Structure 1
Amino acid sequence: MADQIFKKRQGEKRKRKEATRQIQPYRYLIVCEGSKTEPNYFEGIREQIHKKYGRKVRVSKINAERIEIDGTGRNTEDLVKYAIRKRRDAEIPYGHVWCVFDRDSFTDQQFNNAIVCCKSNNIGAAWSNESIELWFLLHFEYLNTGISREQYVEKLNRYFELYNINQGKYEKNIPDIYKNLVKFGSLDNAIKNARKLTKMYNDEDTSANRNPSTMVYQLVEELFEYL
């Protein structure tokens, strides 16, 4: 009888361990081309995830050590090489590595090569064509016409003035950019709008020719699986 009770308890303990392993989040490394704008956005997501899991004693926490966001200011191709080195040299392995970068400052070849390099090295590419401001704008409206970063800023300024965000003006490096975009815009709409844009193009179209388009939504969706 005692032996049966022991085996039952061991079986229950094993099931609890297996359940814990299933919800064990992978460590993330998010390397951003920009040194402030993109990191600030993902810092906002990390903070939200941290708030949910930080006090769950029995759940593996996603905290500052599990999602590392590195704003580098490097160019697109060097950014991917940097991410590869950082993953290789990490004492604790990263489960997921992503690069976040824009098209607007680089040639078609540089941009396309960076994406190919990501894929061949099992790194996610959260790219935007032309710029991250497209992703920000999609929180408020759908846009299927290719425009410049400056024109994105003009459109964002209208919403920032309407909702009195950052004293009515969009700027790079706003610390609470994520909170403001999801408060006055819609993250669900941003994802829907980004998905809709991807359907505009054929498989033969290169990433550099997909303007406007953004894959940032793929990284956001992956992170939000924990929420």
Structure 2
Amino acid sequence: MDRLEGIVTLPQKRKGKSVNQLRRRKKPRRHASERFLIVCEGEKTEPNYFRRLRGFHRLSTMDVSVCGRECQSGPLQVVNYAEYAFNKDRNFDRVYCVFDGDCEPDKYYEALNRLDSMELKRVSDYGKKAGKAYAYAIPSVPCFELWLLLHYECTDSPFGGSCNDVIDRLRNHIPNYRKNDKEIFEKTQPVLDVACQHAQWLHQKHSDPREDDPYTAVHKLIEAVIKQAQ
């Protein structure tokens, strides 16, 4: 398939339930089937986003724990803190590390490699061995704002590692967008299903976080959280 540049239009048909068809539960569930630990590079934007996502689907902090301010900025710092936080509470089933690719390439690659080789061993509430936990990289190239942009555009045009260029494009749709916006989830949620479609399309074309620009895996985490709420 020839490379597409700029904005494209996707077919409207999509099998299965859409994200926006997954309504809030009338009552909070007791506990999800698995426990997630989400560690974010951003101090406010990403943690705020995932906390609001968790709240929208009536998941508890026990079901989905979100960290951001606790770790320093940078992919390696995120991975290091994720391992530290897991070892403090080895009852998580999955650990997700959310970070950007607009940093020094060697540190970005090292973070990806560490997650590929990381071994996390769970223990039960009674301190007994309970099998493996799984660590996942959720990078965005050049930055998390690419995920937000995909709510409105479907693009595979490279940004050359510039997050500012992504933000400029995003402001065509959210004129007052700024980092640390506490309500960014609510502003974008009505078109969350569109973002997941666009991200899946992009992932079919750009599936290598080490080489591709743009790239994001945020939709995989979104879908995992929503599945927890079903």
Deviation, structure 1 residue 110: 1.7
| 1:43-68 Cα shifts (integer Å, max 9, x gaps) | 11111122xxxxxxxxxxx3122211
Is residue 215 of structure 2 the alignment partner of residue 213 of structure 1? yes
Per-residue CA deviation, residues 77-128 of structure 1 (Å, 9 max, x unaligned), is: 12112111211121x6111110000000222x22122112112223111110
Find the residue that maps to 1:160 and give its secondary structure: coil
Task: Please give the per-residue CA displacement for 1:113-163, whole angstroms capped at 9, x wherever unaligned.
Answer: 2112112223111110110010000001101111121111111111113xx
Structure 1 segments (4+ residues) deviating >3 Å: none
Q: Which of these residues, 175, 180, 187, is aligned with residue 187 of structure 2?
A: 180
Matched to 1:152, the amino acid is V
- 1:207 aligned counterpart, secondary structure: coil
Which residue is 1:116 aligned to?
A: 113
Aligned match of 1:74: 73
SS at match of 1:77: helix
Which of 144, 156, 167 is the equivalent residue of 1:132?
144
Give the equivalent residue in structure 2 for 1:85. Answer: 84
Tell me which residue corresponds to 1:223. Answer: 225
Letter in 2 for 1:220: I
Aligned partner of 1:58 in structure 2 is none
Partner of 1:59: none
**Greater strand percent: which structure?**
2
Alignment-derived partner of residue 101 in structure 1: 99
- Report the equivalent of 2:172: 158
- Give the letter aligned to residue 87 of structure 1: F
- Counterpart residue number, 2:50: 42
Deviations 1:22-78 (A, max 9, x none): x8421211000111011011011111122xxxxxxxxxxx31222111002332112
Flag structure 1 segments of 5+ consecutive residues without an equivalent. Answer: 1-22, 51-61, 162-168
Larger Rg: 1
TM-score by length of 1: 0.74
Letter in 2 for 1:65: M
Q: What amino acid maps onto 1:116 in structure 2?
A: N
2:62 counterpart of 1:65: yes
- Corresponding position of 1:7: none
Inter-partner Cα distance in structure 2 for 1:29 and 1:201: 26
Aligned residue type for 1:101? F
Which structure carries more helix by proportion?
A: 1
Over the residues paired in the alignment, what is the CA RMSD in angstroms? 1.7
Total equivalences in the alignment = 180
Report the Cα distance in structure 1 between the residues aligned to 2:112 and 2:185, rounded to whole angstroms.
25
Q: TM-score, normalised by structure 2?
A: 0.73
What percent identity do the matched residue pairs reach? Answer: 29
